[in-house]
Structure 1
Amino acid sequence: MDIQTLKERIAAVQSKREYLLNLLEQSNLGILRVDVNQALEELDDLIDEFRKTIPEAERN
């Protein structure tokens, strides 16, 4: 997989973060709130690792 494809896929994943944040604001989530929080944490970790691995990704 080339760098450009990887950057595009990470950008697509980053766009889902806002959806998870909006979902977290819903009052009727119940126990699913734990899963949404976990997904956000893992998403943030993934993005962080990508930026550490490919630092120039933040500039593009």
Structure 2
Amino acid sequence: MDKAALQEKVDRVAKKREFLVQLLEKPNLGTLRLDVSQALEELDELLEEYKATFPQDTTN
């Protein structure tokens, strides 16, 4: 996979972060709130690691 393709995929994943944030705000999640919160934390870690590895690239 070339760098441009990787950047495109990371951008797509980063854009889905907002969906997780909106989902976390729903009051009727119940126990799924833990899973959504964990997914959000892991996504943030992944994006931070990507930025550390490719510091010249920008991701939303």
In the superposition, the TM-score normalised over structure 1's length comes to 0.94
The answer to which structure has the higher helix fraction is 1
- 1:25 is aligned to 25
Q: Work out the percentage of aligned pairs sharing the same amino acid.
A: 51
RMSD over aligned CA atoms reads 1.1
Moved over 4 A (4+): none
- Structure 2, unaligned stretches of length 5 or more? none
* Amino acid corresponding to residue 15 of structure 1 in structure 2: K
* Amino acid corresponding to residue 57 of structure 2 in structure 1: A
- Structure 1, unaligned stretches of length 5 or more? none
Deviation at 1:58, TM superposition (A): 1.8
Structure with greater contact order relative to length (CA < 8 Å, sep ≥ 6) = 2
How many residues are treated as equivalent by the alignment?
59
